[in-house]
Chains A and B, each alone.
Chain A
């Protein structure tokens, strides 16, 4: 099972906005609105920040937003803060009855 494709590294300065892409196929991202995004700080468990493409759990900053177009999903972070520095993973439901993660993106806040 090949993973979804994410850029390995992304960086931005405090206050800037960045976007992380997640490329899939017509069997996963393109077929279902079941994309989620996870933030993982070193040594910690992942935390969901976006679910079902663009929904944000209560307590997650509105600086985080998600979207999807065709086979590609995107996570956007506005007003970058130092605490946003972490690894980010996308995840999608894949036919049939599978779940697949992206390879992960390391975000550096300069």
Chain B
């Protein structure tokens, strides 16, 4: 079964840092692009960052550029998100999500499947 499990969330003071992890299982992690998507409490979904299967290509949303760093370790089937200089507006559930594949064919960019259950990051003094 394809599974993604996030960890690393918690309560952090403004200006602090946090490293989120996403453990993948049930598929060949090294062959899939990955993403982070977040959801503030009671709000909608916001795409945060993308990393290619090899890790060579990385993109960020403008709202997190310069403060967030996405990375992956294909030897450990793991995805990471380093979050620095945290702000109140970063308070959200952070989901990791794989690029979609259906019937053996990769879906276009912007298709996320499956998703993990998310990890909550709360930024507060």
Interface size in chain B (residues, C-beta < 8 A)? 27
How many angstroms from the CA of A89 to the CA of B63 in the assembled complex? 20
Which residues A47-101 have CB closer than 8 A to chain B? 47-48, 51-52, 55, 57-58, 89, 91-93, 97-101
Bound-state CA distance A55–B109 (Å) is: 14
CB pair B47 A101 closer than 8 Å: yes
Across-interface contacts of B113 in A (CB, < 8 A):
47-48, 51, 57
Q: A47-B115, A98-B61 are in contact. Are A91 and B108 (CB under 8 A)?
A: no
With A52-B107, A104-B45 in contact, is A58–B112 under 8 Å at CB? no
Among candidates A33, A45, A52, A99, residue contacting B47 with C-beta atoms closer than 8 Å: A99
Contact A34–B63 (Cβ < 8 Å)? no
Number of A residues with CB within 8 Å of any CB on chain B: 30
Closest residue to A97 on the B side, CB-wise? B59
Chain A residue numbers with a CB within 8 Å of B115 are 45-47
Using A1-B62, A34-B110, A36-B111 as known contacts, say yes or no to A91 and B47 having CB atoms under 8 A apart: yes
Within 8 A of A (CB), among B19-51: 35, 37, 44-47, 50
A92 and B110 contact, Cβ closer than 8 Å, known pairs A1-B62, A47-B115, A58-B103: yes
Asked, given contacts A34-B109, A99-B110, whether A48 binds B100 with beta carbons under 8 Å apart, the answer is: yes
Q: A91 contacts B110, CB within 8 Å?
A: yes
Contact B44 A3 (CB under 8 A): yes
Contacting pair A34 B111 (CB below 8 A): yes
Q: A102: CB under 8 A from chain B?
A: yes
Q: B76-113 toward A: CB 8 Å interface, digit per residue (1/0)? A: 00000000000000000001000010110001111111
Check B59–A52 contact: CB distance below 8 A: no
9 contacts between A and B (CB under 8 A): A32-B108, A45-B114, A46-B112, A47-B115, A51-B102, A52-B107, A58-B103, A92-B110, A104-B44
What is the interface of chain B, defined by CB distance below 8 A to chain A? 35, 37, 44-47, 50, 59, 61-63, 95, 100, 102-103, 107-118
